[in-house]
Chain A
Amino acid sequence: MAPAAAATTPGAYPSTVHGAPTGESALAVEATGLTKSFGGTRALTGVDLAVARGSIYGLLGPNGAGKTTTVRILATLLAPAGGRARVLGHDVATEAAAVRRRVALAGQFATVDDDLTGSENLVLLGRLAGLPRRAAKARAAGLLTAFGLEKAATRQVKTFSGGMRRRLDLAASIITRADLLFLDEPTTGLDPASRAQVWEIVRSIAADGATVLLTTQYLDEADELADRVAVIDRGQVVAEGTTSELKASVGSGTLRIRLADPARGPDASGMLARSLGVTVQTGTDPAVLTARIPARPSARSATGNVASAIAELAQADIAVGEFALGQPSLDEVFLTLTGNSTPGSQEAAS
């Protein structure tokens, strides 16, 4: 994409990296072997990360996996016990001030002051970002309008809904330009409409050239937003790649068949198991059969195998109501990678 843009648009960045000044690493975040313990609890047992500039990167994992700890280390709020991390080319341990000049953080619990009004929060953070008083006020007013918060401008944040609070939090993060934005669980606890708004905001920020590192326990969120994802579990990155790569690594897909007659389930199950060489499962609905189809190195595609297996069912006079061969969901990926229940099914305790 970048080379094409460079070819058609004279004056575009010559490098394939979004806005990276020459001499700086192409990576916005490079971390190796990060460890951290709290008391006796090992929060991180060795996290490696490489986040390309200009991308949206997702840290996906259940509660307590180490997502927040990783973000807090990268945002210079915590010092790692072991390992090294560079953010935009600066070491988080020895060049924290340089890192802080170029990043912005929106924490897991909205990082705004409950007692102040929406407008006061933005003016305060604008002043702290280095804007003169008048410019800070103008910026605050503009952001409140853009984020649909103008009516709430003079209300204390403690009266805001969860979605409004998040929007204010995101607005506070883009008062001035940050090269890297950390968003810790930006949509936890939001209703679907508010989630979609936050997603749109995140996309706009990334489209403007900033790198976004977000944590989430929602697989659909990672699928929706992230260019690449690191799955983190028990303080370690257990898988990394694009969401499609992660799905492919688990298997080529899942076959779902709904039989017209549930009584034929056992027959159909046996035939499919023989012809596809897989385990066939019956769910709570006896008419529905599912099977994980592994990726095979052989020339014959999974689709072809499945097609002939379904043809066999028809020949045996077993009527198939519907069938589908789809990519595995990220939930299945997560289950396979971690052996845990999916993060989405866990209680959002913290």
Chain B
Amino acid sequence: MTPAITDGAALATAAAGGSLRHSLPAGPRPEPPGPLVASAAFAWRAMLKIKHVPEQLFDVIAIPVVFTLMFTYLFGGALAGSPGRYLQFILPGTLVMAVVLVTMYAGVGLSVDASKGVSDRFRSLPIWRPAPIAGALAGDVARYLLAAGLVVLLGVAIGFRPGGGAPGVIAGVGLLVLFALSLSWAWTTLGLLLRTPQAVMSVGTVVLFPLTLASNVFVSPQTMPGWLQAFVGVNPVSHLVTAERGLLSGHAATGQVAWVLLASIAVVAVFAPLTIHLYGRRH
């Protein structure tokens, strides 16, 4: 170490040292925040991340727009006689698809945090343990609402007319976001189990694309072979799409809506405790 560097460091140090002593915390440590305040702080963080990294919304915006336009105009005429008639059928489907595909980012986000030092600090804080996850889910809900709103607006702009009107659309988006929020817990579980954010993305794509394609999103399953019809019949995405078609058209099938609600509760009951357990573990 040359004398010049030492002197420079000493000067800088002296300057920093003077104001530093005044910056040390005064008084005792405040009481740690409660679960709600801590979760709200993390929700604020999620909103800041959307603001600072708008690129992360690209998928949220691109997927619904591309799928709605592509299927309506590319296949609409062949499948339903005209794009306009097909749009009435497919829009609830692309709505579901757009939001369900975005749910995987709940797991990706958690995995990104875990791979960086910042989660070490969060986990060493005297706060309600699931607060970082609860706050992040608030950010996810914002994304789901954005994706859903975009599809509906786009659909209406190109001729989709929901028979259920505004109440039907609000109920439909509400049920969809509720289901997506439940499904997010499955992704947070996976996000804590897999080692890298890339792995979460890969698994997400491999699971979600077959689930959304092998469903009644694009066509009704009558023309499919028996084994595929059986799969489509048990696929939760199909149930969700049927419920959405009902709500948006104003002829809600109570049984289908109840099925979606029960499925949501079941998913949360399994994966929320699992996520919280995995987040709290120390090894």
Contact = CB atoms under 8 A, between A and B. Distances in A.
Given A146-B20, A146-B22, A177 B27 contact: yes
Contacts of A280: none
B45 A79 contact: no
A100 B126 contact: yes
A1 interface: no
Nearest to B56: A115
B78 interface: no
B120 interface: yes
B124 A200 contact: no
Nearest to B123: A77
Interface in B1-54: 1, 5-6, 8-10, 12-13, 15-17, 19-25, 27-33, 37-38, 41, 44-45, 48-49, 52-53
Contacts of A76: 123-124, 282
Size bracket, chain A contacts = 35 or more
Contact of B33 (A77, A130, A195): A130
A131 B52 CA distance: 24
Interface in B232-260: none
A175 B6 CA distance: 30
A176 to B, nearest CB: 5
User: Majority SS of interface residues in chain B?
Assistant: helix
Given A115-B48, A200-B16, A109 B117 contact: yes
Contacts of A129: 29-30, 32-33, 125
Size bracket, chain B contacts = 35 or more
A127 interface: yes
B5 to A, nearest CB: 5
A77 B28 contact: no
B43 to A, nearest CB: 11
B29 A125 contact: no
B19 A130 contact: no
Contacts of B22: 146
A195 B9 contact: yes
A72 B119 CA distance: 12
A204 B121 contact: no
Contact of B20 (A101, A117, A192, A201): A201
Given A124-B41, A196-B10, A204-B24, A115 B53 contact: yes
A7 B25 CA distance: 27
Interface string A124-157: 1101111100000000001101111000000010
B151 to A, nearest CB: 27
A164 B124 CA distance: 22
Contact of B25 (A75, A174, A199): A174
Contact of A197 (B6, B16, B44, B48): B16
A110 interface: yes
Contacts of B8: 193
Contacts of B44: 124, 127
B23 A192 contact: no
Contacts of B41: 124, 127-128
B206 interface: no
A235 B283 CA distance: 16
B31 A77 contact: no
B157 interface: no
B127 interface: yes
A261 interface: no
A217 to B, nearest CB: 17
Contacts of B45: 113, 116, 120, 124
A79 B148 CA distance: 43
A204 B13 CA distance: 11
A205 B24 contact: yes
B223 to A, nearest CB: 47
A131 B44 CA distance: 15
A24 to B, nearest CB: 15
B127 to A, nearest CB: 6
A208 interface: yes
Given A76-B282, A177-B27, A97 B126 contact: yes
Interface in A136-191: 142-143, 145-148, 156, 171-172, 174-178
A200 B53 CA distance: 35
Interface in A89-125: 97, 100-117, 120, 124-125
19 contacts: A75-B124, A77-B120, A77-B124, A101-B32, A102-B29, A110-B117, A113-B45, A115-B48, A115-B49, A115-B52, A130-B30, A131-B30, A145-B23, A147-B20, A175-B25, A176-B30, A177-B25, A192-B1, A192-B5
Kindly list the 5 A-B residue pairs having the minimum CB-CB distance in the complex, ordered from nearest. A146-B23, A196-B9, A130-B30, A111-B121, A79-B282
Interface of A: 72, 75-79, 97, 100-117, 120, 124-125, 127-131, 142-143, 145-148, 156, 171-172, 174-178, 192-193, 195-197, 199-201, 204-205, 207-208
